[in-house]
Amino acid sequence: MEQDLSRNNVFLRFFANYAPGRFKYWRENSSLVFKSGLKKVIASLAFLTVGVGLGAVVWIFSIWWLGAVIVALSLMAGIINIISFHSFCYYNAWELGRGNAGVNELEAIARTRFSVLEQTRAAASDRRTERRRRSGRHPNRIRESVLDKALNIANIVILAAGMLLICFPLLNYFSLAFNNGNRNLDVILFPADFSLKPMEYVLVTSGAAEFWRSFGNSVVYTALVTIFQNLFTALAAYPLSKKDFPFRGAVLMFFIFTMLFGAGIMPIYLLVKSLGLLNTLWSIILTGMFNAGNMLYYKTFFEGIPSDVEEAAILDGANDLQLFFYIVVPMSLPIIGTCCFFTLVGCWNGYGGAMIYIDQSEQGKAVSPLAYYIYLMIAQNSQADTITDPWVSANIDNIEAAAMLASIIPILCVYPFVVKYIRGGLQLGSVKG
């Protein structure tokens, strides 16, 4: 057990060494063990000092937040280093006390295990040999032609330019959010005059009520649509994935026809109006309850599930509902994850529906989702000079940037958790499509 923990988890590796019974050995052997890794402690302290010093210099003389980051990082690295070393010594004292290892061995282990420099050096030399082996000093290897090399370089240059084109506006604009009354020109990549005031304005003080209201609207809208749209869509796709479902072609056509032909926005608008849903959140929630395009993806995926599994479950006495929720859904997580994420991003970022069903009155603003709120904010700011507060009118760009940054954070938080599923789902799409 201890072995497993120490192998897999860094934190447990530290703390598993502090087993209660080992304190006796530590008291006896601490000086001996400690001496074996003294160099390591010194290196660690030196690293800490240099890092903190460098950070402090940067902090005082130029950009304070960069200095703070350097200080924090070096402190963290130094402290983790020392803790890990101490816990290792604690463990070694135990080993030594039981006679399992000699001092020299411990010294060697400590050196290889804890010297960051040596480890990186070893890894680099490994990589070098590997590269040398791969690039082939072999006499029969096929040389890369000059053209290929040039293409390679051009490739890297173009991709780097593309990355720059993506990253530069993002950094430039979002660092506006941490500025005090600066315009875009003053800011190149980092905040010029660092200030949390615009963020505070949007999230805490004057703008907060509207921001969090529309944030809440967006959360409700996105959650309800993502859950129920995918539930209803998958539920509808499941029977249609059965080859012998009655009137399968007709039912399929019934759903697909809605993607091919729509009556335009006027009749739907009038319908929503006569249902009394205009200027409510329900208008955009209910109109998004089903997606025929996603149904096709679900159907294609369900068709690929081997029927043996379902037959086995039926033999075990599962009914259709159990079959769907306990067998089919767990097997279709890639497609469910992909479709849910698409729906989620679409709802969070989309405001086309809101533009149709929700107007710009006070009642409409109370139910507007976040993207629509930002749209209204920007459309109004660019047209009217109705702002009375001088600080707000000086910081209007910064406030807009802060609101935008705050609105994309939830999506960026969800993305890492679903990226695994998406890659699977897309690969699926590419194989099937």
Partner 1 sequence: MKEYLQTGETAAGGASAPSEEARTRKRPEGRSFWRTEMRRVVKHRRLIVFLVPAAFFTILFSYIPMLGIVFAFKETINLNQGDILWNVTHGGWTFNNFLDIFYENEEFFPAVANTLIINVIRLAICFPLSILVAVQLSELKSQNAAKVILIILSIPNFLSWVIVIGIWSGVLHPDYGVLGRFTGFIMGQNQWFKPLVVFLSAWKGAGWGCILYYSAIVAIDKTYYESATLEGANRLQKIWYLTIPSILPTIALTLVLNIAGMMAVGFEQIYTMMKINPGELLLSQQVLDTYIYDVSITHGEDIPFATALGVFNGIIGLTLMLTGNYITSKTLKRGLW
Residue 433 contacts partner 1 per CB under 8 A: yes
- The correct pick among 289, 312, 325, 417 for binding partner 1 (CB under 8 A) is 289
Residue 233 contacts partner 1 per CB under 8 A: yes
In the complex with partner 1, which residue's Cβ is closer, 30 or 241? 241
Residue 291 contacts partner 1 per CB under 8 A: yes
In the complex with partner 1, which residue's Cβ is closer, 195 or 360? 360
- The correct pick among 127, 262, 309, 326 for binding partner 1 (CB under 8 A) is 262
The pattern of x and - marking residues 39 through 78 that bind partner 1 according to CB under 8 A reads: ----------------------------------------
- The correct pick among 16, 32, 196, 268 for binding partner 1 (CB under 8 A) is 268
In the complex with partner 1, which residue's Cβ is closer, 54 or 192? 192
- The correct pick among 118, 130, 148, 389 for binding partner 1 (CB under 8 A) is 148
In the complex with partner 1, which residue's Cβ is closer, 244 or 362? 244
**Residue 305, token pair as written in the block:** 């599930």
Q: What is the footprint of partner 1 within residues 381-420 (CB under 8 A)?
A: 382-383, 397, 400-401, 404, 407-408, 411-412, 415, 419
- The correct pick among 88, 238, 302, 421 for binding partner 1 (CB under 8 A) is 238
User: Cα 264–265–271 angle (5° rounding)?
Assistant: 115
User: Hey, which residues does 194 pair with through a beta bridge?
Assistant: 179
Minimum Å distance from CB 198 to partner 1?
14
Q: What is the footprint of partner 1 within residues 115-144 (CB under 8 A)?
A: 142
- The correct pick among 7, 60, 62, 261 for binding partner 1 (CB under 8 A) is 261
In the complex with partner 1, which residue's Cβ is closer, 117 or 250? 250
Q: What is the footprint of partner 1 within residues 323-362 (CB under 8 A)?
A: 324, 338-339, 342, 345-346, 348-352, 355-356
Q: What is the footprint of partner 1 within residues 163-202 (CB under 8 A)?
A: 163, 165-167, 169-170, 172-173, 176, 183-185, 187-188
Residue 216 contacts partner 1 per CB under 8 A: no
